[in-house]
Amino acid sequence: MTALVQLSADKLLNSFSPHMLFLNSEPSASGFAVWSHGLFYLVDIALLLLGIGALQQKKTRAIGVSFLLALPFFAAPVVINLTSEWYLLRSFFSYTLLLLVITWGAFAWWQSRFRWILVAIYTLSVLNFASQYFVRYPVMGADAGFFQERVLTQYISWVRQKYPQEPIIVYTIDPPILLSSYLLHSGSVSDETVDQIAQAFRDETYKFDNITFQNTCVDDDDGITLGITEAIRDRCRSLTDSSADTTKITIPALKDSGSVYEILNDTVCGQYDLGTFLQVNDLEQFRLSGLNEELFCKQWITDLKKVS
């Protein structure tokens, strides 16, 4: 019982952590979180203190006491939940109360002759948040947005342009999902292909043209078949397997350059001097269809065996 009370108290305190509220929010790859920004602006610290002070006045003291008592009550979803610590939505009503107090502080500041300082600071704060949300966050969250599947699709398109008859085998734990992703990103769904696609899903063969998506490991011993495997699955041999003498290159994760897909017996990108990590300098690099073969390979394909 004591441990449960302690856990609930910790969750309640953590939901109002100044670090999360004003510096770094929860590192979640979702539309509700921004890794490098708090839930509120830094200037809101001053406004929160001003608001608390304003609510201590005789006319507003009852409102201030009501807000104070309501905070832990509205944080109840955080306290009673024992599965995770996702505060953003579970403490939504508590954060709304804090926003009301901040608004009260902003109103108090607005009554002074320094109101335009507040306008200037808030304008800079909003611009800083906008740059993070619309520029930095899409890059940080790209791994959760199936960006590697786009890279995989573009790689396959280069292979098919040079070797249209070459069979391609893709290992994945979930063939229908990855096939659907490929069809979407490649724009392969049309009146001419819809029957073929429907038949592949009905038969559970998950094959489109000469590309087969399967949940059995790609045979990398023949040294011929172009195979692509999900590197995070431990059912198949990985790049760290020293016994694997097959040439392998990788489609890496955007945030840390770790291997997401391994490409076996490559016939396109291996001819170029590939790096060992990703380096993004321009948002145009994300426009995969605008890159030629060499630029695409050097930018989005890596050779992790060079690390060893």
Q: What are the residue ranges spanned by the domains of the chain?
A: 2-140, 144-306
- pLDDT, tens digit, 9 for 90 and up, residues 27-86: 555 556 666 788 889 999 999 999 888 888 878 788 878 887 787 777 777 777 666 666
In degrees and rounded to multiples of 5, residue 261 shows phi and psi of -125, 140
Residue range 245-271: mean pLDDT, rounded: 82
Distance CA 240, CA 57 (A): 66
pLDDT at residue 182, as a whole number: 92
Distance CA 60, CA 42 (A): 25
pLDDT at residue 240, as a whole number: 44
The residue length of the chain stands at 308
What Å distances lie between residue 45 and 23, 56, 59, 92, CA to CA? Answer: 11, 17, 23, 18
pLDDT band at 91 (very low <50, low <70, confident <90, very high): confident
Residue range 167-178: mean pLDDT, rounded: 90
User: Which of 36-50, 88-102, 160-174, 224-238 has the weakest average pLDDT?
Assistant: 224-238
In the sheet that 226-230 helps form, which strands lie side by side, from edge to edge?
207-208, 211-214, 168-171, 226-230, 259-264, 248-252
Distance CA 183, CA 177 (A): 10
